């Protein structure tokens, strides 16, 4: 029997249902970029305030990861997904109806809590359904297909905002969230063997929290933590926040064309996710494909920081940037490989704290950095010079290069899998 007293469903149905709910998380985390100029105008937001509005989603998302990991390991992945889905619906309506910047920020904070479970909890569920050497491919399917939500936050959001207003778009998103919650309740159930295994190793609360510390002691944890933080924040800071203002203020791109250019970035990133997904088996390594992709991203950011990109080259430059960052599923699989089954939920959610926490830090820091250049008012919007955005590219390139320097020492594919297998029961005993 699966959790909630239902039999386990076929893997394809489970993946399809989980992808649907994950699309919402991707939509909300990336939705600010397209409508940022509209929000700045309506709520009188400067760059620092806009950066904080976007990043506060990632702050609450990150803060939720430790309790989420505990909940996954104690009660399974479905219960926290259902609970956060209900919060997601309420927060989306609150965001759509916000009357001032404080309400908007509070709603965005709640959205982070509401979306916190839809990547880590599915990964924990997949870990019980698929073998370790297939996990990276399944993770790439979930991330790539779920990233259709990221596509919806580009040109479709721009078109919707222009035609019916951004508030109505978010009310429609709330209705879709309700539909996906019903789908989650009806179709997502754990494999019976995963439920039995969790119940057989029932932990005390002391052992549960000891497992959190044990996860941080896994060989390679901290290099993976900072690498996930750097790579995710590099994508989210551009795609989820500054690409829209950059296109509008440096190149004077109107709303719908802006959405199309961001769509090119998102499509390339999603397509690349599927291509990068099985690369760990091709190279027999996690590190090699991740470091190749990292080198490409650092090079692209460094070039953009040193010289302006010609307007005609924007679609190609954005698409290249998105494609180079498609290695994230391999990095996620690398992180998951560090932990034995008993610590999978806590381990991967702790790593995800780096992913979301890094985005909170970089979106906030880059907002403050842009603000140091000063602004001029254009059509009621604070407008910043090109040099401000080039500094953003330089900051992102530097932090990603530094993270890669430490990541190169992390245990690679076979070593990590063997290490996790050898400590299957040991971590809790060692931490007591």
DSSP string spanning 80-112?
HHHHHHHHHHHHHHHHHT--SHHHHHHHHHHHH
Q: With beta carbons less than 8 A apart as the criterion, state whether 291 and 404 touch.
A: yes
Confidence at residue 417, expressed as pLDDT on a 0 to 100 scale = 52
Tell me how long the chain is.
432
| Backbone φ and ψ of 286, nearest 5° | -85, -40
Sign of torsion, CA 174 259 26 112? negative
Q: With beta carbons less than 8 A apart as the criterion, state whether 153 and 30 touch.
A: yes
Angle 315-317-318 from CA coordinates, rounded to 5°: 65
Confidence at residue 60, expressed as pLDDT on a 0 to 100 scale = 95
Place of tokens 């750097």: 230
Give the chain's domain count.
1
What tokens were used for 332? 């996620």
More confident residue, 97 or 68: 97
pTM: 0.76
Which residues, 6 or more positions from 426, have their beta carbon under 8 angstroms from its beta carbon?
Answer: none
Q: pLDDT tens digit string along 74-116? A: 888 888 999 999 999 999 999 999 999 999 999 999 999 999 9
Confidence at residue 240, expressed as pLDDT on a 0 to 100 scale = 85
Q: What mean pLDDT comes out for the span 104-133?
A: 86
More confident residue, 329 or 331: 331
Domain-located, residue 196: no
DSSP state of 178: H
Q: With beta carbons less than 8 A apart as the criterion, state whether 363 and 233 touch.
A: yes
Q: What mean pLDDT comes out for the span 315-342?
A: 89
Place of tokens 């090119």: 264
Q: pLDDT tens digit string along 397-428? A: 999 999 999 999 898 866 655 555 555 544 44
Residue 140 has pLDDT above 60, yes or no: yes
Domain-located, residue 207: no
Distances (CA, A) of 366 to 27, 170, 242, 360: 22, 26, 9, 10
| Backbone φ and ψ of 333, nearest 5° | -65, -40
Domain-located, residue 57: yes
Confidence at residue 114, expressed as pLDDT on a 0 to 100 scale = 96
Place of tokens 């370790």: 132
DSSP string spanning 341-400?
GGGHHHHHHHHHHHHHHHHHHHHHHHHHHHHTT--EEETTEEE--HHHHHHHHHHHHHHH
CATH number at residue 75: 1.20.1250.20
Q: Percentage of residues in the chain with pLDDT exceeding 70?
A: 89
Q: pLDDT tens digit string along 9-60? A: 566 777 777 888 899 999 998 888 888 888 988 999 999 999 999 999 999 9
Element (H, E) at 429: helix 426-431
Q: With beta carbons less than 8 A apart as the criterion, state whether 325 and 262 touch.
A: no
Confidence at residue 4, expressed as pLDDT on a 0 to 100 scale = 38
174-182 long-range contacts (CB < 8 A, ≥24 apart) are 174/89, 174/92, 174/93, 174/96, 176/24, 177/24, 177/85, 177/88, 177/89, 177/92, 178/89, 180/20, 180/21, 180/23, 180/24, 180/85, 181/21, 181/82, 181/85, 181/86, 181/88, 181/89
DSSP state of 277: T
Q: pLDDT tens digit string along 267-283? A: 898 888 888 878 888 88
Residue 316: band (very low, low, confident or very high) from pLDDT cuts 50, 70, 90: very high
Q: pLDDT tens digit string along 193-228? A: 667 666 666 667 777 778 788 888 888 999 999 999
Neighbours of 70 (CB within 10 A): 20
3-state DSSP of 378-392: ECCEEECCHHHHHHH
Domain-located, residue 203: no
Determine the Cα–Cα distance for residues 3 and 195; give it in Å rounded to an integer: 7
Determine the Cα–Cα distance for residues 379 and 41; give it in Å rounded to an integer: 9
Q: With beta carbons less than 8 A apart as the criterion, state whether 330 and 283 touch.
A: no
Domain-located, residue 425: no
| Backbone φ and ψ of 189, nearest 5° | -145, 145
Sign of torsion, CA 150 156 161 167? negative
What tokens were used for 228? 């996930």
The whole-chain average pLDDT of the chain stands at 86
Domain-located, residue 290: yes
Give the residue among 16, 149, 116, 55 at the shortest CA–CA distance from 363.
55
Q: Percentage of residues in the chain with pLDDT exceeding 90?
A: 47
Residue 7 has pLDDT above 50, yes or no: no
Domain-located, residue 198: no
Domain-located, residue 428: no
Q: With beta carbons less than 8 A apart as the criterion, state whether 390 and 305 touch.
A: yes
Q: pLDDT tens digit string along 237-262? A: 998 889 999 999 999 998 889 989 99
Q: What mean pLDDT comes out for the span 292-300?
A: 96
Domain that residue 42 falls in: 9-187+219-418
Give the residue among 38, 40, 129 at the shortest CA–CA distance from 77.
129
């Amino acid at each position: 029997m699966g959790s909630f007293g239902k039999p386990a469903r076929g893997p394809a149905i489970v993946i399809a249902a989980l992808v649907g709910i994950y699309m919402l998380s991707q939509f909300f985390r990336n939705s600010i970029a397209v409508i940022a100029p509209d929000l700045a105008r309506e709520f009188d937001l400067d760059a620092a305030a806009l950066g904080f509005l976007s990043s506060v989603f990632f702050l609450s998302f990150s803060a939720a990861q430790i309790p989420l990991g505990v909940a996954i390991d104690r009660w399974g992945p479905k219960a926290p997904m259902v609970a956060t889905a209900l919060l997601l619906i309420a927060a989306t309506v609150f965001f759509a109806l916000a009357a001032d910047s404080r309400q908007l920020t509070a709603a965005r904070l709640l959205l982070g809590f509401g979306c916190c479970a839809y990547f880590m909890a599915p990964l924990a569920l997949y870990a019980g359904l698929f073998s370790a050497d297939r996990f990276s491919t399944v993770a790439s399917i979930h991330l790539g297909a779920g990233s259709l939500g990221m596509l919806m936050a580009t040109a479709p959001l721009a078109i919707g905002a222009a035609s019916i207003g951004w508030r109505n778009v978010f009310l429609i998103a709330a209705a879709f969230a309700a539909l996906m919650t019903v789908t989650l309740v009806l179709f997502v159930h754990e494999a019976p063997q995963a439920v039995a295994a969790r119940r057989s190793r029932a932990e005390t609360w002391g052992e549960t929290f000891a497992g959190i510390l044990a996860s941080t002691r896994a060989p390679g944890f901290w290099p993976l933590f900072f690498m996930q933080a750097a790579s995710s924040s590099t994508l989210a800071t551009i795609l989820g926040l500054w690409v829209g203002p950059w296109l509008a203020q440096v190149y004077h791109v109107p709303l719908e064309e802006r959405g199309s250019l961001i769509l090119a970035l998102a499509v390339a990133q999603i397509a690349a996710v599927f291509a990068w997904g099985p690369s760990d088996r091709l190279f027999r390594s996690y590190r090699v494909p991740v470091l190749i992709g990292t080198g490409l991203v650092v090079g692209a950011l460094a070039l953009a920081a040193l010289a302006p990109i010609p307007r005609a080259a924007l679609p190609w430059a954005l698409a290249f940037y998105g494609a180079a960052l498609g290695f994230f599923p391999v990095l996620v699989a690398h992180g998951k490989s560090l932990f034995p089954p008993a610590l999978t939920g806590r381990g991967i959610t702790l790593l995800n704290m780096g992913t979301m926490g890094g985005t909170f830090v970089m979106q906030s820091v880059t907002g403050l950095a842009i603000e140091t250049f000063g602004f001029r008012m254009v059509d009621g919007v604070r407008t910043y010079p090109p040099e401000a955005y080039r500094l953003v590219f330089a900051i992102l390139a530097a932090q990603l290069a530094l993270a890669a320097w430490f990541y190169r020492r992390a245990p690679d594919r076979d070593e990590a899998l063997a290490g996790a297998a050898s400590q299957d029961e040991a971590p809790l005993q060692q931490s007591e």
